[in-house]
Amino acid sequence: MKKGKSTSQIDSNYQAQETNIIKMASEKEQMLFHIKNQNCAAYKLISEPLEFLTPFFDTTKTWLTVGDYNGLEANYLLQRNQNVIASDLSDAILKEVKSEGLIKEFSKQNVERLAYNDNSFDYVICKETFHHFPRAYLGLYEMIRVSKIATVLVTEPIDILSKMSLLVWIKNICDKINPLFINKIWKNRFSWESVGNYVFKISEREIEKIAMGMGLHCIAFKRYDNFKSHEKIEGLYDVPINQRLYKKIKMKLALRGFISLLGIIPHGSLCCIVFKEQPDEKVTRGMKELGFITIQLPENPYLGK
């Protein structure tokens, strides 16, 4: 009985997200404005994390974008001479984006059941979507399956418990009394978005364990801070990047990043790359210049090379 209820809830979650995308499709001009006007503050703030992909643009590769509801990631990759298919739970907005000539190919896909063979794409990228998945790791395994070189997660919220030893210590003390006491301090321990999904936060250690379990040998991370307020982003569609408001936002992000570098607070977002093939020296060097930490994982001594 519990299994049936769980499956029904997951189906409802996906249905709610698809319905939300279809609803947003009615606001076509708003969905496409910042892609057409790439000098506006909204586009710059949303697309800046995609610059982390720069080391992979040396030659033309094949890409699948997952959760690319308005085709922004696919459009970004196309402008950099990459072959890309945009995908999302609903193709309602992607149809409009293609009709405008902003993307070339799209596909309606559920990340838990990607309709592609193993190693179909050189890279799979998922930006600001992983934390929406009802069964996040099932989605991650699928993305890794259809990628040949690497799967990239961009702009995902960090699980702060993995970065704040003080919070871990407080939680351990509270757990001895009442495991819910920590909620008074850790306000967003359990968080949901209005569309109905639980916000799945990630940690470097969790990604490392997944890669180790699959026998993969290289992962990379970049910690950073980004502008997270979607409500405020909507108010920046017609704000040029030379205006004071945009510069003020950038200054706040820079200050937050500096404080995080000092170790006072953790960064808010994480970019994770799970490699199925070892990156070459040029790619590794390019990632290092962008601030990535690359980790070489050991061989399983019991299964051999």
Q: Can you list the domains of the chain with their CATH numbers?
A: 12-159+201-255+269-296 (3.40.50.150), 160-195 (no CATH)
**Cβ-contact 111, 143 below 8 angstroms:** yes
Q: Rounded mean pLDDT of 278-297? A: 96
The H-assigned helical ranges of the chain are 2-25, 28-36, 41-47, 72-78, 92-99, 136-146, 165-177, 204-213, 230-234, 244-261, 281-289
pTM: 0.89
Residues of 13-36 as b/e, b for ≥16 C-beta within 10 angstroms? bbeebbebbeebbeebeebbbbbe
Query: What pLDDT score does 1 carry?
Result: 38
Residues 222-269: tens digit of each pLDDT: 999 887 655 566 667 777 777 788 888 888 889 988 998 888 888 999
Which of the four pLDDT bands, split at 50, 70 and 90, describes residue 79? Answer: very high
Which of the four pLDDT bands, split at 50, 70 and 90, describes residue 107? Answer: very high
Largest CA distance in the chain: 59
Residues 165-211: tens digit of each pLDDT: 888 888 888 888 888 888 888 788 888 888 888 899 999 999 999 99
**Cβ-contact 228, 184 below 8 angstroms:** no
Residues 35-48: tens digit of each pLDDT: 888 888 888 888 99
Residue 55 clears pLDDT 50, i.e. is over it: yes
Average pLDDT value for the chain: 88
Q: How far apart are CA 186 and CA 94, in angstroms?
A: 38
Q: How far apart are CA 37 and CA 238, in angstroms?
A: 8
